[in-house]
Structure 1
Amino acid sequence: MSDPTAHSPAETPPSIPPPTGIVVGIDGSDQSTCALVWAAREAERRNKPLHLVTAYSVPIFAASGLDGGYATVDDDVIRDGAEAVLHEAATKVSGYNVDLDARVENGDAAGVLLEMSETAELLVFGSRGRGGFVGRLLGSVSSALPAHSKCPTVTIPISCAERLGQPAPARRERGDKHPDVAVENVVTVGVDGSATARMAVLVAAEQAQRSGRTLRVICAIPPYTGSLAWIPAPLDREALFKDIGVQLDAGQAWLRSHFPDLPVDVQLLEGPPVEVLIEASRSSELVVLGTRGRGGFAGMLLGSTTDGVLHHAKGPVMVVRDAEDPRLADRESFGPMLQA
């Protein structure tokens, strides 16, 4: 464990190397504190360095008097505030056995974190942050990062506060009208047969194995709606479930070939995928999703299911971008699968 004061923002050298471990966005909000604690636990579990980052840009205001012109806020004042926020954050996680550094960056928060994602192993941030000049890391940024990041991202909603040992917000503040439920020892991954989902399954399996949890694979089939009017008879829907079940069994066999000791629970459910996965987020340690599923166009940055879950999840959500992995090559040899 390193001394957070030994790597204070004020002492950070200009040519600090790019981050290679877990990067967490900090802006002093309750949401970023939750993200900080989750990231510290994950860095300790993976034995990876933890990088605390905040970013700011100096705002310019148009003068509102007869003497037209512009006024700027002093850069040193803002930077001092950012350094204070990072120092407080570093102190909160000083008890974790991780190598820690804290960085203040000048620039757009999303741009700063996206650049770091090129070398980082994981980006972690809250689902919403505070306004103002310091950071603005969360909110619009938390929507941009999963779509553009070069590494997996984890979004932590404020409703996770209690499970992370932080003061729990009022139910109205966290937007949750449902009663609290116990968190199970599972990592849940949503699948739809797409190549991106298969990559998400591999990452979720690694996460579950690393943390000693069960992997729960969920495939949700939307109920009958007008969009499914082309299905001629109930028998066809039964056949659809049977066919998907065969493919899930084949996928489970493939997964066990790469993770023979990992407990796997496969569930085929009927219901809107977004609602099913949001509900799963209440009781899962982590929900893992791909950036884009079968329902999206090739050029879309986030599929509608992933985007919908990110906005309403009650637990941590990891988004995994599509990638090349040699383990994907032998999936077809285990049985039928949907072609994305």
Structure 2
Amino acid sequence: MDREQVHPDPAGGAGGESAAPRGIVVGVDGSDHSHCALVWAAREAERRQRPLHIVTAYSVPIFAASGLDGGYATVDDSVIREGAEAIVKQAMDKVAGYNIVLDASVENGDASGVLLEMTETAELLVFGTRGRGGFVGRLLGSVSSALPAHAKCPTVTVPLSCADRLGETTQDKHARAEQAKSGRLPVENVVVVGVDGSEQARVAVLEAAAQAQRLAAPLRLVCAVPQYTGSLAWVPTPLDREALFADIKVQLDAGVAWVRSHFPGLTVETQLVDGSPVEILVEASRHVELIVVGTRGRGGFTGMLLGSTSDGILHHTKGPVMVVPDRSDPRLADRARFGPMPAGA
């Protein structure tokens, strides 16, 4: 694919209006965190043969005037804008060697709002865990929770601890410590998807299967059942829990048959474990290519995996995490033909 570089326009595009980006969108702010996200996004764009759109956003501060006129004073945004343009140019130069169509924009506005609007047309949104402030600096915390939960397309969060596996260097002592810890385990070419028997999880499974196919990697469906939940605290004997696990295993096997029907040739395996979904998936993130989860769960096996769990994984992950929004998919209609499903799911 031919590579085309479009230099960012200060207004975000011709006539002050930016064209809706398609393909993969990555948010940058010049920090090591966003550089990791940028490299991951460029590799993904090359795998998918899709364009990569690099974006940064800034807001001009407004201060209340101290004079008697009671008005407001604004800062000249030329210096801020020039800094944003320099960040985007640096990002474009960094990934110029990839065989992708590449463009970029500098947007004026709140970073989360800018990115959420772009998810209306984008195929995938990628960002780092935190940055210098102003742009990605707010993405984890309240805003990072809002982005995956409200985005119209899948989002991928890439932590700084991935720098080593992406060939990046960092001076961040926490990231370097995590790299040293994770370095004891090789990164498996495996895509792991968290499942809980809900329809939202099945949507995530389909996206994870497509990603595993791109990576020529096995797909691993992981279901973690906490020791005690609101639905299980009443279980009187270990035998009841054993029966529960046996029932879930039957449903997982049916799910595997369903996935294979839509992705012939894909290696699909299951892992049913006793423990906290957050802890299990965070630990897996240390040594697999990608963790995939849905935005929320409803019923299913445990009723706990998605929602608060996906938020917990985002805040503690040691590797890339894809969050898949709830959406319709015609392939969901034939799941029941392959075996039992959780009641109401």
Q: TM-score, normalised by structure 2?
A: 0.90
Q: Show the counterpart of 2:7.
A: 7
Structure 1 counterpart of 2:207, from 200, 203, 210: 203
Match of 1:103 among 86, 105, 108: 105
**2:42 corresponding residue in structure 1:** 40
Partner of 2:329: 325
1:163 is matched with which residue? 165
Match of 2:259 among 241, 249, 255: 255
Structure 1 counterpart of 2:57, from 55, 58, 80: 55
Residue type matched to 1:183 in 2? V
Q: Is the 8 A contact 2:60 2:74 kept in 1?
A: yes
Say whether residues 1:121 and 2:123 are aligned partners.
yes
SS at match of 2:254: helix
What residue identity is the alignment partner of 1:229? A
Deviations along 1:274-304, whole A, 9 cap, x unmatched? Answer: 10000111111110000001369xxx9x711
Quote the residue 2:151 is aligned against. Answer: 149
Distance 1:67 1:174 in 2: 53
Could you tell me the percent identity over the aligned residues?
68
- Contact residue 161 and residue 169 of structure 1 kept, 8 A: no
Structural mapping, 1:59-70, within 5 Å: 59-62=61-64, 70=72
1:303 to 293, 301, 307: 307
Secondary structure in 1 matching 2:286 = helix
Flag the 1:20–1:101 CA change in 2: closer, same or farther, 3 A.
Answer: same
For structure 1, list consecutive stretches of 5 or more residues without a partner in the other structure.
Answer: none
Aligned pairs (5 A) from 1:15-34: 15-34=17-36
Aligned counterpart for 2:319 among listed residues 288, 309, 315? 315
Cα distance change of structure 1 residues 142 and 169 upon mapping to structure 2, 3 Å threshold = farther
Letter of the 1:331 counterpart: R
Give the TM-score normalised by structure 1: 0.91
Unaligned runs of 5+ residues in structure 2 are none
The farther-off stretch of 274-283 and 217-226 is 217-226
The letter for the 2-side match of 1:281 is S
1:36: how far off? Answer: 0.5
Report which stretch shifted further, 225-234 or 79-88.
225-234
SS at match of 1:24: strand
Could you say what secondary structure the match of 2:335 adopts?
A: helix
1:202-259: per-residue Cα shift (whole Å, max 9, x none)? 0000000012111111001112478733001111011011000000011111111111
Instruction: Kindly state the Cα deviation for residue 20 of structure 1 after the two structures are TM-superposed.
Output: 1.1
Give the AA of the match of 1:317.
V
Residue 336 of structure 1 is matched in structure 2 by 340
Equivalent residues of 2:130, 2:137 under 8 A apart: no
227 and 65 in structure 1: CA distance in 2 versus 1, 3 angstrom threshold? farther
Counterpart residue type for residue 219 of structure 2: L
Give the Cα separation in 2 of the matches to 1:99 and 1:92: 14
Q: How does 1:57-96 map to 2 (within 5 A)?
A: 57-62=59-64, 70-96=72-98
Pick aligned residue for 1:242 from 238, 242, 246: 246
Deviation at residue 71 of structure 1 after TM alignment: 3.5
User: Residues 187 and 267 of structure 1: is their aligned pair in 2 closer, same or farther, counting only changes over 3 Å?
Assistant: same
2:338 is matched by which residue type in structure 1?
F
Distance 1:311 1:305 in 2: 10
Note closer, same or farther for the CA distance 1:175–1:139 as it changes in structure 2 (3 Å cut). farther
Structure 1 194/138 Cα, relative in aligned 2: closer, same or farther at 3 Å? same
Which stretches of structure 1, 4 residues or more, deviate above 4 A after TM superposition?
63-70, 134-137, 224-227
Aligned residues: 334
Task: For 1:115 and 1:43, locate their aligned partners in 2 and report how far apart those are by CA, in whole Å.
Answer: 20
AA of the residue aligned to 2:256:
Q
Larger deviation: 80-89 or 163-172? Answer: 163-172
* Paired residue type of 1:145: L
Partner of 1:277: 281
Q: For the structure 1 residues 136 and 225, does the alpha-carbon distance in structure 2 shift closer, same or farther, using more than 3 Å as the test?
A: closer
Shifted more, 48-57 versus 66-75: the winner is 66-75
CA RMSD, 1 decimal: 2.4
